[in-house]
Structure 1
Amino acid sequence: MLRTITFAALSLMLVTAIIYRPSEAFQASLQGLTVWWNIVFPGLLPFLTMLELMLAFGAVHALGTLLHPLMRRLFRLPGEAGFALVLGWTGGFPAGAESAAALRKTGLLTRSEGQRLLEMAHMPSPLFIIVVVGAGFLNRPELGLAIAGTVWLTGLLSSLVLARFSREQPQMAEEQPRHTGLFRRAAAAMADARNRDGRSFGKTLGDAVTVSVAKLMAIGGFMMMCAVIAGLVETLLNNAIPAPLLTGLLESHIGAFSAATAQIPGGQPWNIAAITAILSWGGLSSLLQAGSALGGTDLSVWRLAVHRLLQAILAFILSLTVTNLIVKYAGAVIDSSPAMLQNGSHEKRTGPWRVSELPDIWPHMPVALLTFAGILVLLCLISAGAARRDRPYGR
């Protein structure tokens, strides 16, 4: 009862604030829409559609069989988790949560395995970090690579620690004899999954696109809502809360822009550390997106929030330390001035982004898809080598 009253009161307060400040609400909503349409939509649509198709045609089950030896050794997870992990790390929010939820719904993961996979795979988009943040916001693509590396490293370290403390073993029964080749078992798993689905290619493709677009519409709604809340709170409190802190807590894309253009006394190393922490946290928007994806499962978004918060703290400390070392030992590698905008100006932007000011994501999508496929192939080869080492001599 108390929870219902609280949410009702908060909703009423939000509606009142929008009526009181309609111009600020419109501008903030437009900013969230611009980010979603130009960055999130093109960056996620191919990956979400591909996830639906690969699940329907059994490709995920085949990859799970191939990746099982490697994932069992590294993270104590079934092989299907390897596909979800690569998808989340290349597709960005909330592709990892979508894939973890899909595997949990199909029974391929236990609750504990699904929760650990969710915490590992729910990561920001590398395209956004490198292209938009690095090349666009900071005007330094190499800094985007450094930020992405720090986010991935802290995510991987925390995930490995969680895996080491987990006592649960992967539960993936092998229905075929051990002497059967790994690739033959993968082909059998793929055929079995395809037969269970039974839909034609046209039906599967139509369903995949429809489901993916519906999910992207929900994601856009979450982003716009969080952008409006951030804009209204910032206006009503008369900038009493620092803009990077407020926007970063609610929406990571807008928060990264705010942190990149903020006047921070410590100079650009602190700007970069703030961006890294915001992207590692992901914002309330990414948690809402994950919660929407987890509907119908027993996975906890609250545990995910705690994990993301701890990763953000670790990423901030690591990024600040590494950046200061670069400044100290590499001279003027990083300029201490604020990040430049696309037009070369150092002024802090307060209005919504224009489409012409955002780097285009679409030209980079073939590279992202090839990277996704390349990582999967590499992991499958490594896993096949690990399986061969585990096989008794003479078999």
Structure 2
Amino acid sequence: MPKTILVAVLSVALVCSIILQPDASFQASLQGLAVWWNIIFPGLLPFLVLYEIMLAFGLVHALGALLAPLMTRLFRLPGEAGLVLMIGLLGGYTAGTAAAADLRKRQLISSSQAERLQAYSHMPNPLFMLVIVGAGFLHRPLTGVIIAAAVWLSALWLLLATSLLSGKAGRIMLQSNDRASGRLIGSAAAAMQAAREKDGRSFGTALGEAVSSGVQKLLMIGGFILCAAVFARMCEPLLSPFLTTAPFLGPALFESHLGAYAAAEWQQHASSTAVASAIAATLAWSGLGGILQAVHSASGTDMRLLPFIAHRIAHALHAALFVFLLWKPITILAHYLSGSIAQTTSAHQPGLNVVLSPFPYSTSDLPPIWDKSLITAGVCLAACLIAVVILKQRRWAR
């Protein structure tokens, strides 16, 4: 009853604010529509179509089978969780959460395992980070690579850290899902064959349904973006003390795609690393819209909301930190590789003296925090080594 009253009051307040400010709400809707139609729709549709085809022909299931031993031994999750993690990495926010909820409904994992798996399979679309954010929003492809690496690695790190705290609950499914390492490729091939036989659609049918499904998903994303744009504009008076220093906080609170676009516009007033860390935190947080989608996917299970929100906040903070940790190594590696490509091209074409560098920025804009981040990286490495030792000791004890 209290939740119903609260939702009703907020809905009435929002409707009243839209009526009192029709011009502002209309302009916010136009801005959200422009971002969705001009950038997100053409950028994500090809990937969503290819992803559905990969599902239909069992490639995602094969990749999940390859991850099964890692999930069992390192993350203390059943082997089926590998498929869920791959679906989350490749399919975007709602795909991973729906797959994790399905495992819980079939009683293949415990409630705590399902909450951890749902939290860290709730990932942004990879093409959105690599292409739309990097090349579209920031016009710097390498920054999209750094953001994607920070979001993925921070999720895996948190999944490993939380597995160490899972206790005996994580041992329930370990023995029944253990697979011999020598049969790993065979298991992946068998998973692909079984998924293909279960699907049974021809390529033409799968392609047509993939296009239809991709358009439907993008329409849903567009609806969330438009609503988030209006909500953010209506809530600006409440968030005004924070918007002076970080103007992207309003859109980022409600919707990750629009928040990433707002954070990209912030690059005129902040350093490249600060903008990249803000975008990584926004995508890891996923916005209230993404959280509500995850709650809808988990309906009918005993998975709780508050732990999921806590995981989202932790993921956002760690993703921002990982941007600072990865910025200089990835930048140096990219410049080294681009220099090697330029030298190779010049060797084949003696008249070509132009250095091919697709990354038009240098490391001079790195913040002073980099000097201290080396110590943080050492601490993280030591923690990982300790975690591996503990896991090996537990395995020998069994």
TM over 0.5, shorter chain = yes
Q: C-alpha displacement at 1:157, in angstroms?
A: 0.9
Report SS of the residue matched to 1:130.
Answer: helix
Counterpart among 40, 43, 48 of residue 45 in structure 1? 48
2:255 aligned with 1:254, yes or no? no
Percent identical among aligned pairs is 42
Report SS of the residue matched to 1:75.
Answer: coil
2:120 aligned with 1:117, yes or no? no
Match of 1:350 in 2: none
> In 2, distance between residues paired with 1:106 and 1:321?
39
Q: Which has the higher helix share?
A: 2
Q: C-alpha displacement at 1:229, in angstroms?
A: 0.2
Q: 1:93, 1:123 within 8 Å by CA — same for their partners in 2?
A: yes
Report SS of the residue matched to 2:123.
Answer: coil
Once superposed, what is the RMSD of the aligned Cα atoms? Answer: 4.1
Q: C-alpha displacement at 1:80, in angstroms?
A: 2.1
Match of 1:76 in 2: 76
> In 2, distance between residues paired with 1:177 and 1:277?
36
User: Which residues in structure 2 correspond to 1:221-370 (within 5 Å)?
Assistant: 221-234=223-236, 236=237, 239-242=240-243, 243-262=247-266, 267-320=271-324, 332-333=362-363
> In 2, distance between residues paired with 1:305 and 1:129?
22
Q: 2:71, 2:82 within 8 Å by CA — same for their partners in 1?
A: yes
Q: Deviations over 1:344-371 (max 9, x none)?
A: xxxxxxxxxxxxxxxxxxxxxxxxxxxx
Q: 1:219, 1:289 within 8 Å by CA — same for their partners in 2?
A: no
Q: C-alpha displacement at 1:118, in angstroms?
A: 0.9
* Paired letter, 1:22: P
Moved more, 290-299 or 224-233: 290-299
> In 1, distance between residues paired with 2:111 and 2:230?
35
Q: 1:96, 1:122 within 8 Å by CA — same for their partners in 2?
A: yes
Q: C-alpha displacement at 1:307, in angstroms?
A: 0.8
Q: C-alpha displacement at 1:121, in angstroms?
A: 0.9
Q: C-alpha displacement at 1:163, in angstroms?
A: 1.3
Q: 2:61, 2:192 within 8 Å by CA — same for their partners in 1?
A: yes
Q: Deviations over 1:280-324 (max 9, x none)?
A: 212112112212222223223321211110122223334346658
> Measured at CA, do residues 108 and 47 of structure 1 come closer, stay the same or move farther in structure 2, by a change above 3 Å?
farther
> In 1, distance between residues paired with 2:177 and 2:325?
50
> In 2, distance between residues paired with 1:266 and 1:206?
44
> In 1, distance between residues paired with 2:264 and 2:27?
20
Q: 1:268, 1:334 within 8 Å by CA — same for their partners in 2?
A: no
Q: C-alpha displacement at 1:275, in angstroms?
A: 1.9
Match of 1:161 in 2: 161
Moved more, 33-42 or 78-87: 33-42
2:28 aligned with 1:24, yes or no? no
Match of 1:367 in 2: none
* Paired letter, 1:97: T
> Measured at CA, do residues 146 and 240 of structure 1 come closer, stay the same or move farther in structure 2, by a change above 3 Å?
same
> In 2, distance between residues paired with 1:176 and 1:254?
42
**Normalization by structure 2: what TM-score?**
0.68
* Paired letter, 1:122: H
Unaligned runs of 5+ residues in structure 1 are 337-389, 391-395
Q: C-alpha displacement at 1:19, in angstroms?
A: 1.3
User: Which residues in structure 2 correspond to 1:73-152 (within 5 Å)?
Assistant: 73-152=73-152
Higher RCO (CA 8 Å, separation ≥ 6 residues): 1
* Paired letter, 2:225: M
Report SS of the residue matched to 2:109.
Answer: coil
Report SS of the residue matched to 2:93.
Answer: coil
Report SS of the residue matched to 1:30.
Answer: helix
> Measured at CA, do residues 24 and 175 of structure 1 come closer, stay the same or move farther in structure 2, by a change above 3 Å?
closer
Q: Deviations over 1:102-129 (max 9, x none)?
A: 3333444332222121112111222222
Q: 2:53, 2:206 within 8 Å by CA — same for their partners in 1?
A: no
Q: 2:151, 2:284 within 8 Å by CA — same for their partners in 1?
A: yes
* Paired letter, 1:80: E
Q: C-alpha displacement at 1:248, in angstroms?
A: 1.5
Report SS of the residue matched to 2:155.
Answer: helix
Q: C-alpha displacement at 1:156, in angstroms?
A: 1.3
Q: 2:55, 2:61 within 8 Å by CA — same for their partners in 1?
A: no
> In 2, distance between residues paired with 1:139 and 1:186?
38
Q: C-alpha displacement at 1:16, in angstroms?
A: 1.0
Unaligned runs of 5+ residues in structure 2 are 336-360, 367-394
Q: Deviations over 1:120-162 (max 9, x none)?
A: 2111222222222222222211122112212222111111101
> In 2, distance between residues paired with 1:305 and 1:280?
11
> In 1, distance between residues paired with 2:80 and 2:201?
23
* Paired letter, 2:49: P
> In 2, distance between residues paired with 1:12 and 1:185?
54
Report SS of the residue matched to 1:262.
Answer: helix
Report SS of the residue matched to 1:94.
Answer: helix
Q: C-alpha displacement at 1:199, in angstroms?
A: 8.1
> Measured at CA, do residues 321 and 297 of structure 1 come closer, stay the same or move farther in structure 2, by a change above 3 Å?
same
Q: 1:290, 1:301 within 8 Å by CA — same for their partners in 2?
A: no
